[in-house]
Structure 1
Amino acid sequence: MIAKNSSRSKSPQAASVSPVVRSGRASRSDGDATVRHIITQAGSLFAERGYADTTSKAICEAAGVNMAAVNYHFGSRDGLYLVLLKEVHREVMSLDFVRQIGHSAAPPSDKLYLLIEGLLRATYDAKSWHIRLWARELLAPSPLLSQIMEEDTLPKFEVLRDVIMELTGMPVADPQLLRCVLSVIGPVIMLLILDRRIATPIQPLYSHNVEDMARHMHTFTIAGLQAIAQQGGYAADTKDKAGKG
């Protein structure tokens, strides 16, 4: 006969995990939650006040954590801010997503549409702190912007440049190519940095449908790129999957 386990008996699974290990797992879980909470609170504060006017003390107070928490988890306020800027790039439009578009077998016109639509969709998402923080960073750059530009912005810029090269047939050395890239991203940057709460001549655009905006900008951009390519004697490839220019 098999004796019944007493109420004090431990199951094999529970007995195999020591209190120290269980405590360590809980500690890591709590630490991850604290880090995430600090990031969220800091992101909102930096987006509201900017890099120069947001202190570690204010962040810790907003997060309800020990005053040493920023240094403990991130090394410094700059370390935390760098994490935030990296997260902005992942959340708004990750490099993997951009490269996936750039390396796809889709026609270059379709690639350009996906990039424009993705940027617009991220720009129109004003509910999170990510876009507002990035807009502040562009208007009032921190000492960390150059690092972010090199590590996160430049690789995305290169994908867009390469797509435009596919579209226009321009070589990378042609000075017109850089002007074309600026012409494509300029309108999106303007929409990004303007405060939609302030009355401006283009404020009504923020209520427009993202797909409608993307189609308009894509059509306008394709026509412009085609004209520039023809002026330069290049053979532009502006056909999409449906065969429309």
Structure 2
Amino acid sequence: MTGARRPMRTDGEATRARILEAAGELFAEGGFAETTNKAIASRADVDHASINYHFGSRSGLYREVLVEAHRRMISVEDLTAIAEADVPPEEKLRGFIARIVAAVLDGQGWHGKVLSREILSPSSHLDVLPLSEIGAKMRIVLRILSGLTGLPPDDPALRRSLFSVLGPCAMLLVAAPRISPLADDVLTTPREVLVDHLCSFALGGLAAISARGARE
């Protein structure tokens, strides 16, 4: 018995994917303002009309690139699998951090560079992420942190802790272009050592917040 085959992409789907990939590469190299439809069409080997047909405009295309970049960093499906794994909460946090570290260090594809640009210089298009990606992912990570601290997911202290956990992960993206010796020190650290450090740092802070919550 043979396994079910994945349905083949239609010509339109293949063209859309090719445009998205070409745009991601170019936006990573030069940013939104410096990347023209002409350059995207040339790299994707399509005409200008195809960009508008599939994405509405260059702005619409850039917003789709941002969403795809965030998904390539870590998807809702990835996070759900981590959160629902039959392991202690500490291992779930480690799985999350390890996934982010791997996404940053494994070749630093265009997705990481696009998100790094947005962290350093947010554009007016960034609001697409809370609507399509960040909200769902935050709820999943809050469940993991809730299991670690005993605080409910809607506790303001837990929500602040989320930013404390995510901050160092965001800094990895900023450091990835290696614009300073400090970035080299971090990015040349053995992966397991880096994951251990980020986990220990996060767990120490979460333990303190948990203890404070218990006292209060």
Tell me if TM exceeds 0.5: yes
Relative to the length of structure 1, the TM-score reads 0.76
Relative to the length of structure 2, the TM-score reads 0.85
**1:147-226 pair list within 5 angstroms:** 147-226=128-207
Task: Find the partner of 1:46 among 16, 23, 27.
Answer: 27
Question: Could you list the per-position Cα deviations for residues 122-145 of structure 1 after superposition, in whole angstroms to 9, with x for gaps in the alignment?
Answer: 121344111101111222223331
Q: Check whether the contact 1:41–1:62 (CA below 8 A) recurs between aligned residues.
A: yes
In the alignment, is residue 133 of structure 1 matched against residue 136 of structure 2?
Answer: no
Question: Could you list the per-position Cα deviations for residues 105-127 of structure 1 after superposition, in whole angstroms to 9, with x for gaps in the alignment?
Answer: 32111111101111111121344
- Distance in 2 between residues matched to 1:202 and 1:128, nearest whole Å: 17
**How many angstroms does 1:35 deviate by?**
2.7
Task: Find the partner of 1:119 among 77, 92, 100.
Answer: 100
- Distance in 2 between residues matched to 1:124 and 1:47, nearest whole Å: 16
Q: Check whether the contact 1:196–1:203 (CA below 8 A) recurs between aligned residues.
A: no
- Distance in 1 between residues matched to 2:150 and 2:108, nearest whole Å: 39
**How many angstroms does 1:196 deviate by?**
2.9
In the alignment, is residue 62 of structure 1 matched against residue 65 of structure 2?
Answer: no
- Distance in 2 between residues matched to 1:177 and 1:200, nearest whole Å: 33
Q: Check whether the contact 1:170–1:177 (CA below 8 A) recurs between aligned residues.
A: yes
| 5+ long unaligned stretches in structure 1 | 1-25, 235-245
**How many angstroms does 1:173 deviate by?**
4.6
**1:61-100 pair list within 5 angstroms:** 61-100=42-81
Instruction: Please provide the CA RMSD for this pair.
Output: 2.2
**How many angstroms does 1:190 deviate by?**
0.7
**How many angstroms does 1:65 deviate by?**
2.4
**How many angstroms does 1:56 deviate by?**
1.3
Q: Which has the larger radius of gyration?
A: 1
How many residue pairs get aligned? The number is: 208
- Distance in 1 between residues matched to 2:195 and 2:83, nearest whole Å: 18
Distance 1:126 1:136, change over 3 A: farther
Distance 1:125 1:69, change over 3 A: same
- Distance in 2 between residues matched to 1:133 and 1:82, nearest whole Å: 11
Give percent identity, aligned residues only: 37
- Distance in 2 between residues matched to 1:172 and 1:40, nearest whole Å: 36
Q: Check whether the contact 2:26–2:40 (CA below 8 A) recurs between aligned residues.
A: yes
Q: Which residue does 1:6 correspond to in 2?
A: none
**How many angstroms does 1:195 deviate by?**
4.5
- Distance in 2 between residues matched to 1:101 and 1:69, nearest whole Å: 38
- Distance in 2 between residues matched to 1:38 and 1:174, nearest whole Å: 42
Q: Check whether the contact 2:104–2:176 (CA below 8 A) recurs between aligned residues.
A: no
Q: Which residue does 1:109 correspond to in 2?
A: 90
Question: Could you list the per-position Cα deviations for residues 202-224 of structure 1 after superposition, in whole angstroms to 9, with x for gaps in the alignment?
Answer: 32211122222112211232222
Q: Which residue does 2:18 correspond to in 1?
A: 37
